[in-house]
Structure formats: structure tokens, C-alpha cells
Amino acid sequence: MFNKAQIQLKTPEQFETMRKAGRVVALCLEEIQSRIKPGMTTLDLDLIARNIMDKEGAKPSFLGYHGFPAVICVSVNEEVVHGIPRKSKILNEGDLVSIDCGAIINGWHGDAAITIGVGNVKPEHQQLSEITKQALQVGINASLPGNHVGDIGFAIENFVRSYHDLKIGILEDYVGHGIGTEMHMAPSVPNYGKAGTGVELVEGMAIAIEPMLVLGSNKVHVLEDDWTVVSSEGSFASHWENTIAITKNGPEILTKL
Ligand code: MG
Ligand code: MG
């Protein structure tokens, strides 16, 4: 477990470098979103990100992280997070694809994820992605100095539960995190929780908020590749993420253009 003393606070100059890393992440995600189509492989998407990072002078956060073999994570349909890009994985019309990307500039990280529908996707899958994206924004809105980490999870959980007619699982085994000179730092930022609990948010903190939602049960397991997390029911999943700076003026998204 992390304790409060381990939380890294950033100077305005360090946030400026994190903005640069975040911009590269946003560039990668935007380019992938504009080019994704049926027939591409998930490795094709990885190459897009790899080329942009090279061009922008950024290093990928994920490549080599605990041995991860690629620049981005590409998780398709029932894959929730940590899917490994590969030549044999061909995208089809109707696939729901979550792309997670991290970049480093001068030692500072940015981390973000989006979910993209390939061609026409089923309305319930589109809706799942929309709810996850909105849940991320709800979490960002709660990221005010003086609030606590638990307020973020509480806000996200309440928002997701407001869809009474849908059974949506919120992953509990995987959570958001602090970020800075490492991709994963204190504090953990769960997508569920109690208001007013956990670490207090203070100016200078940076956190990655990343709701991971599945239709049906929130039960997941890891495939034999030791990375890919799939929903145990085989139902579709969505993942949206941004890196956020806590500032006296409120939350600022660092992973944007
Ligand atoms: Mg990420
Ligand atoms: Mg993350």
C-alpha cells in the first residue's frame, strides 16, 4: 500500500513537461482513431503510435514495462485492458477497441485511453463506451483540491449505478493511479469508493483516472499470455483514461492536444 508521504508533488515546470508527454499520447490516440478500420491488425495500431513517438522524441511508457512487448495496449471486445498488439489479431466491423497509451518526455509520463468502435457497433456497445467516457469526466470533475481520492470513486460509481436498467460491472482489481516520474505511483485511484475517504487531493498532484466497465458481471481473469484481462462472462468492455493535474483552479487534463 502507498502512504501519503510517498505522493509526488509537481512544480509548474514539471507539469509543463507532463503536458508535453500528454500531448504526444493524445496525438497517438487521435491518429489511431482517425485511421482504424476493419482489416487492420492490432499491431498496425501499435506501429502508428510507435512512429508518432519517434517523431515527437518521446519514449513509450509501456514498452518493456514488466516485460510488456508493445507501445500501446489494444483490448478488443471482451478484452478489458492490457491486450497485446499482434499481427494475427484482425479488426472486424462491430469491434469495440480500447487503446491505452503512455509516453515519456524528459522522464515525465502521460497516460490515457480511449474506446473506439470499428465501423458500425451495436447500440449497447456504443452506449457502454459513452457511459465509460462520461464516468471519466465525472471523476475528473470530482478531482478538486480539498476533495479526497474516495470522492472520485464515489462519483464514478454513483454515475454508473444511475443506469438502473443496465447491469454494468465496475472493475475492482484494476484502478487508476498517481503518475509523474513513474507511470504508476501513489495514490491508487479506484473507480468505486466512499466520499471523503482516502488521500486528500492537493495542488501539485497528478493522477490517472481510468474507469474500466463491462456489461454484466465485473468478474475478470487474465489470459495465458499473462497480460490480457478479459471479462469472465465474455461480455464487451470499455476503458477511458486521462492524466489529470490537481491545480488550485481545479482539474486540468494533461493528456490532450
Ligand atoms: Mg493507461
Ligand atoms: Mg493508467
CATH number at residue 247: 3.90.230.10
Q: Report the pLDDT value the prediction gives residue 1, as an integer from 0 to 100.
A: 46
- What is the pLDDT confidence band of residue 3, given thresholds at 50, 70 and 90? low
Asked if residue 154 is part of any domain, the answer here is yes
What is the CA(256)–ligand 1 centre distance, in A? Answer: 14
Asked if residue 2 is part of any domain, the answer here is no
What is the CA(254)–ligand 1 centre distance, in A? Answer: 13
Q: Report the pLDDT value the prediction gives residue 6, as an integer from 0 to 100.
A: 85
Residues 6+ apart with CB under 8 A from 170: 156, 157, 160, 191, 192, 211, 212, 213, 218
Asked if residue 3 is part of any domain, the answer here is no
Residue 54 has pLDDT above 70, yes or no: yes
- Indicate the average pLDDT of the chain: 97
3-state secondary structure the chain: CCCHHHCCCCCHHHHHHHHHHHHHHHHHHHHHHHHCCCCCEHHHHHHHHHHHHHHHCCEECCCCHHHCCCCEEEEECCEEECCCCCCCCECCCCCEEEEEEEEEECCEEEEEEEEEECCCCCHHHHHHHHHHHHHHHHHHHCCCECEEHHHHHHHHHHHHHCCCCCCEEECCCCCEEECCCCCCEEEEECCCCCCCCCCECCCCCEEEECCEEEECCCCEEECCCCCCEEECCCCCEEECEEEEEEECCEEEECCCC
What is the CA(102)–ligand 1 centre distance, in A? Answer: 6
pTM of the shown model: 0.97
Q: How far apart are CA 238 and CA 129, in angstroms?
A: 5
Q: Which ligand is nearest to the CA of 206?
A: 2
pLDDT digits (tens, 9 = 90+) for 179-188: 999 999 999 9
What is the CA(236)–ligand 2 centre distance, in A? Answer: 20
What is the CA(208)–ligand 1 centre distance, in A? Answer: 8
What is the CA(234)–ligand 2 centre distance, in A? Answer: 23
Asked if residue 90 is part of any domain, the answer here is yes
Asked if residue 187 is part of any domain, the answer here is yes
Residue 2 has pLDDT above 80, yes or no: no
Number of domains forming the structure of the chain:
1
Asked if residue 1 is part of any domain, the answer here is no
What is the CA(176)–ligand 2 centre distance, in A? Answer: 6
Asked if residue 122 is part of any domain, the answer here is yes
Asked if residue 148 is part of any domain, the answer here is yes
Domain of 114 in residue numbering reads as: 9-253
pLDDT average, residue stretch 206-218 = 98
Query: Cβ atoms within 10 A of the Cβ of 125, count?
Result: 20
Q: Which ligand is nearest to the CA of 73?
A: 1
